Copies of this chain bind each other. A is one copy, B any other.
C-alpha cells in the first residue's frame, strides 16, 4: 500500500484509509491535519507522512497514543506522466543547468523532509509546456542544497552557462535552491563577461510535488526569458506576487530573498525589476544590457577568505582581530544606518588597514545608500580607509570583494574596482546630488 506495511498498514486499512485521503492525526499533544502521502518501502515502519494544508510534508510517528481520524476522501496519488515528445528543431535551444535545491527536490517519505533528487531531465518531464517554448538541453553543474553552495561551485555553474551560450544556446536557465540564489546570481554577474544571452536563475519556494508549487510557473517564465528576451545579463526570475500568474525579472546584483517561504520572496532592492513575464510575454522595463556577439568569457578567480560582518550594539573588536589573525583577506561590514560601526571596532579596523586588508562598508538597512560624510562616525571610518559601497547590497559587496581580490590586492586598485559599477550592482552618486539620501 504505497510503501506502508506491517502494523501501520493494517491500522490504516482498518480505518479504510487510502493514500490521498485527508486525515486528522493527534500525536504527542500535537494535532496534524493533512493528506496521507506515499512512503518509500525503506522508510520507518511506524511513520506516517502527511501533506499539510500549507503544502509542507510532515512525518508523524504512530504509537499507542496516536489517534487517527479520516476526515475526507481524496484523489489517489498519481505517478508523473512520461516526458512529452521532443520539441520541433525550429525552437530555440535553452540550456538548463541543474545544481540541486528545491526546484529539483523530492520528498523523503521516511523523514517527511525534502531532498534534492530530480535530475534536470525529470524536471523537463514535469512541465510539458516547456516543449512549446524551447528545445532544452540539460546538464548538471553540481547537486547540493543551495545553503551548501560555495565559490568553487559558482565557477562550475558559470562554466556550464558559458559553455552553453558558446555552443549555440539562446539562453541559459540555472535551477537553484532559493536560500543562496541571490549570492550565486551576484557571483555569476561578476564572473560572466560579454554575455551573448540571458543567464536566468530560477527556483521554487514550494517543491514541485506540492499543490501550491511555484516551480512550474517559475521554470516556464525562466525559459521564456532565456529563449525570447534580448537580455545580456544574469537575472533571477521568480513569482511576482502570491498569485500564480506572473514572474518578475530581477537583476542578479540587485536581488534579495526577503521572505522565508512566500512565493514572492525575491525583491529587487534599490532599483525596479528588469522586467515582467506573463505566460509567454516578456516585457522589459528600464535600462538593461542587451545580448552581445562573440564569445562569453568566464573570469572565475575568487578569493574565498572574505568575511561579512554584521555589526551590533555592544560588540567588541575581538572577533574582528581573530578574523585578521586567521588570515581573512577582506572584510565587508554590514554597518548601521548610513554605514556606521561601533567605536569599539575602530582598533581592529585600523589594524585591518595596516595589514592591507580592505574594509568595505554597507548597511544592514539593506535599502538606501551608505554615506560616510554625514556623521562624525562616518568621517572617522573614511579616515581609516573604509570603502563606502554606495547602494550595493551587503551580500553583493561580499561576493564582489571575493571577485575583486581574485584579481588584485593592491589597496587603491581594490577601492577603484569596488566603487566601479561592473554589473549593475551600484549606481554612483552624481556630483550635484552627492549627498541626496534617496
Contact = CB atoms under 8 A, between A and B. Distances in A.
B436 A52 contact: yes
A56 B437 contact: yes
A122 B322 CA distance: 44
One complex includes copies of this chain to the number of: 2
A286 interface: no
B379 A113 contact: yes
A260 B376 contact: no
A265 B437 CA distance: 12
A304 interface: yes
Contacts of A190: none
Contacts of A343: 148
Interface string A363-404: 111111111011111110000000000000001001000100
B147 A336 contact: yes
A114 interface: yes
A287 to B, nearest CB: 22
B259 A438 contact: yes
A147 B337 contact: yes
B111 A260 contact: no
A336 B379 contact: no
B336 A326 contact: no
Contact of A373 (B113, B312, B363, B431): B113
A32 interface: yes
A43 interface: no
A112 B374 CA distance: 7
A260 B437 contact: yes
Contacts of A402: 314
Q: Which of A54, A262, A314 has the most CB of B within 10 A?
A: A314
B434 A368 contact: no
A114 B151 contact: no
Contacts of A113: 373-376, 378-379
A241 B42 CA distance: 56
A32 B363 CA distance: 25
Nearest to A24: B432
Given A113-B376, A340-B145, A365-B257, A310 B313 contact: no
Interface string A85-106: 0000000000000000000000
Given A30-B434, A32-B434, A326-B319, A368 B260 contact: yes
Q: Which of A55, A147, A260, A366 has the most CB of B within 10 A?
A: A260
B376 A58 contact: no
A339 B366 CA distance: 19
A259 B340 CA distance: 14
Contacts of A322: 319, 322-323, 326
B265 A150 contact: no
Contacts of A438: 259-262
B312 A318 contact: no
Interface string A135-169: 00000000001111111001000000000000000
B261 A437 contact: yes
Given A312-B398, A336-B147, A374-B113, A367 B258 contact: yes
A33 interface: yes
Interface string A14-50: 0000000000000001111100000000000000000
A375 B204 CA distance: 13
A112 B261 CA distance: 45
A91 to B, nearest CB: 34
A49 B184 CA distance: 44
A313 B30 contact: no
Interface stretch (A175-183, A291-299, A350-358, A411-419): A175-183
A336 B145 CA distance: 11
Nearest to A144: B343
Interface string A43-81: 000000000111110100000000000000000000000
Nearest to A152: B314
Given A147-B313, A260-B370, A319-B319, 5 more contacts: A31-B432, A113-B378, A147-B342, A257-B337, A308-B310
A-B residue pairs, 4 tightest by C-beta: A260-B368, A261-B437, A179-B337, A56-B435
